[in-house]
Structure 1
Amino acid sequence: MGLKVSISGVRGLFPEDLTLEHVMNFTRVFSSMLSDRCALAMDTRISSKSIASVASAVLREYGIDVYNLGVAPTPVLVRESNASRVGAGIMVTASHNPLEWNGLKFALNGREVPADLLLKSSNSSKKSKSISRIGVEYWSSSSASSIYLDDLFRFLELDGYDAEGVRVAVDTAHGSSRAYILEILARLGFRAVVMDSIAVDPTGSDLAHLYTAVSNGCRLGIALDMDGDRAVVLTGQRYKPDDTLLICLAKAVEMGCRSIAVSIDTSNAVRDLARAMNCKLLYSKVGEANVVDTMLKNGCGAGGEGSSAGFIMAGFNLCRDGLLASALSLSMLDRLDEVMEYSKRYSVRRGKVDARGIKHDRISDLLLSRHDYSESITMDGIKLVLDESTWVLVRPSNTEDVVRLSVESESTDRCNELYRMYEQMIKDAG
């Protein structure tokens, strides 16, 4: 498959594609951007501890003190890396990729740093100042946990909320967010029904066990990925990852947000919600860093990605935050049915096609040669808008050797028909 270096970090099959030498090299480059402190966290993959140990050793070699959070989600690490605290962070995770994979995410001053930027900076990986000491490693997982959760409850003004034992089904994929989401549920007065599976990517997994739980009395189902930056919320109706973003944006607008930014791979339901709530909507390329850039350039208070069930709120964390999204969704229980009416109108289907042998220029030619679309958008891959409710997006993946295909329409049958047609078109480009 090969090592993937992108705006989403560096990741690959470990140790075949991602090696410990890669870990050392990327950490050295990142260390050249730091002053004297860096937070470090990891997900629960078998290989994460070894990779974290190597990253810690390299940081300390460069005179940087390491604040090791142990097993902790990406949003906790990013918030801890805020300039007012540690200032930088490294997260050991391959996020939603298979368990055999692993990787690194980098954060500086409260924002994730694209790994492809580090690759471009590799020629200047030596620190300009002399190194007079070896860094020290501190373990601070419990303090980081309590600080993050206390900040979250203050930000959302949730202290005093009492769900009085309402049941919520939770699947954390045995990942780094488990202790955090259980603490959130307990503080809010919910009764957690833990149903952890090996669904590393909740946006592309069969979540039938959570559907069953919701059908049997749980008010909500929540599935998080391995590093806790994605949260899928199931309300009992047809599920799509965009529902998380839809629910959270509705709450964000209630909280005073007047403009939002989302990736182009996001359901029309979000567009309809923004129109109804008189909120300005902007689009970006797919990828968390691209959404954050658009948010910052345009002063957007919130944003995210429908395709990845990712939600970002600028006032709290400039990264996808599955814990924040979960807490927001839980606080919206009395309005869920109303908000989900926007989602019911549309069917979305997403998938991927093996990119080996695929000629991307050929895909572009085939797509643009069609005459059944009203608008073509080439911001990120090619998005063909067929009518007010129907679109098709074809783009190369940032994290895998695949071509991603997304289709949305009001009709499930038409959605599936279009998906099959464009899937074959992509394969024909080989």
Structure 2
Amino acid sequence: MKKTISGVRGIFGEDLNLKDVLEFCNNFSSLIKSEKCVIGKDTRPSGDMMKNVASAELMKNGIDVFNLGTVPTPVVFREARRFGAGLVISSSHNPIEWNGMKFIIEGRGINEQELPKIVEHQENIKSKIGSECNITSTYIEDAKKIIGEIQNNPDIVVDIGGGAAKGFAPELLRESGCKVEVLNEELSQCSRGPDPTSDELSELRTASIKKEIGFAFDLDGDRLVVVRKGEKQTPDVTLGLGVAKSLELGYRKFVLSADTSISIEKYIKEKGGTIKRSKVGEANVIELMLQTNAQAGGEGSSGGFILPEFNYCREGILSSGLIASMLGTSNFDEILNYMKSFFQIREKTTIDSNFHDKVIEDIKNKFSKEYSDVDSQDGIKGIIDDDSWVLIRKSNTEDIIRVSAESNDVEKCKKITKDTLEIVKESYDKVR
């Protein structure tokens, strides 16, 4: 089981059980000052069971539960602003047999100070019993106000991936002025896996050839992948397009995660904006956004565009509407071509988690000798030149070490990645 600021997640029935749901929800109750909590789930088969148990435990601790049913993660985050707290039953892009919980306080995900209060045992603190009722969200109406009316009725294909974006993403796009074809509405008949960033998206790529653009979502609807003319774009392109639209709307203060493409940073600065870099992870990006009053930004590795005035989370559904609103404009082609002139490679290697810190420390010493600029804010990032970098860090969600690299030369990027993976393996052999 993984326990991080991204939430808790594991294989349901193996390392994540209903007993764990009871324990974590009991602990979470102590953080809910409003005594109100919205709850929603994605389409995983274990979702109903976990949601019912979670709701019962929250009510036992005096929390009034407002049930959204099957909804995307951004919808729960949006409503959690109104109610004070939220709980998402999901493990996002993980395989179907996984499940988990994302905890929301005052509209944002938990931070590193709050995590121990959820994963470490606490006594029951409430004596009264809470209530439960079903509610609906104003998410689509709220998102339309940000997006505005989309001109020229663009023809779009949307791959739901059998997830919770059904009933939200297609409807938002249609109501904003798009013509929409939908693929993979039902999980039982889905032609692809739950993670659009790693799936080939063959059906969507084929369908997008005759459309202006294609969008693919993960199971809980916070991740978005863009497909253009049969070609799957990198997650950084999704973020880059969201950033371009926010610059168009007048936003200038941005936060980007440490592994986000340098092309997005360059583009922001060229348009008169400023950026700060956070540790990797949605919660880390948002925490720095709150500290600096940033207006937009996100996480390149997950295609996670974030617009704080609307939601303190990755906004795959809102992003699809914002991107669709740029179709047919010079700005769309400009950012797409600009982003595609840089190349990102993201790899991972299995390393015993007991040795993660020792491996990172050993590599830090090597990088300090090899690169003139080394950033240790999150793992180790070596700045190679103005257009190239490499980052080594522990994953927030898996027992692996991740290696991310970027350059404006694809062969150089491949070599950087290959050489760094070898350095990781050498360090692992050395320290264990």
Q: TM-score, normalised by structure 1?
A: 0.92
> Aligned residue for 2:150?
161
Correspondence 1:94 to 2:91: yes
The answer to whether the Cα contact below 8 Å between 1:260 and 1:300 also exists between their aligned partners in 2 is yes
The one-letter code matched in structure 1 to 2:181 is: V
Structure 1 Cα separation of the partners of residues 381 and 246 of structure 2: 27
Q: Secondary structure at the match of 2:103?
A: strand
2:392 to 373, 390, 394: 394
Q: What's the counterpart of residue 422 of structure 2?
A: 424
Aligned mate of 1:324, from 313, 318, 322: 318
Tell me how far 1:58 sits from its aligned partner: 0.5
Alignment of 1:14-413 (within 5 A): 14-34=12-32, 35-82=34-81, 85-114=82-111, 117-120=114-117, 122=120, 124-127=122-125, 131-132=127-128, 134-140=129-135, 143-144=136-137, 147-156=138-147, 158=148, 160-164=149-153, 166-196=154-184, 197-214=191-208, 216-236=209-229, 239-333=233-327, 334=329, 335-356=331-352, 358-366=355-363, 368-370=365-367, 371-413=369-411
The answer as to whether partners of 2:12 and 2:99 remain within 8 angstroms in 1 is: yes
8 Å CA contact 2:7, 2:102 repeated in 1: yes
Q: Distance in 1 between matches of 2:412 and 2:372?
A: 17
- How far did residue 363 of structure 1 move? 4.1
Q: Decide whether the 8 Å contact of 1:9 with 1:114 is kept in 2.
A: no
Q: Is there any run of 5+ residues in structure 1 with no aligned partner, and where?
A: none
The alignment-based identity, stated in percent, is: 39
- Aligned residue pairs: how many? 415
Contact 2:5 2:115 in 1 (8 A): no
Change (3 A) 1:20 1:288: same
For residues 70-103 of structure 1, what are the alpha-carbon distances to aligned partners after superposition, in whole Å with 9 as ceiling and x for unaligned? 1001110011011xx2221110000111111110
Which has the larger displacement, 326-335 or 412-421? 412-421
Where 1:33 maps in the other structure, the secondary structure is coil
Contact 1:26 1:118 in 2 (8 A): no
Per-residue Cα deviation, 1:291-336 (whole angstroms, up to 9, x for no partner): 1111111111001000110011111111111111111111111231
1:39 touches 1:81 (CA, 8 Å); kept in 2? Answer: yes
User: 1:259–1:302: 8 Å Cα contact kept in structure 2?
Assistant: yes
- Following TM superposition, by how much is the alpha carbon of 1:338 offset from its aligned partner in structure 2, in angstroms? 1.2
| Residue deviations 1:231-270 (CA, integer Å, cap 9, x gap) | 1122345621001111111111221211100101001110
Conserved 8 A contact 1:8-1:115: no
Q: In 2 relative to 1, CA 125–276 (structure 1 residues): closer, same or farther, beyond 3 Å?
A: farther
- Separation in 1 of the partners of 2:232 and 2:341? 11
**CA–CA distance in 2 between the matches of 1:408 and 1:176?**
32
Q: CA RMSD in A?
A: 1.8
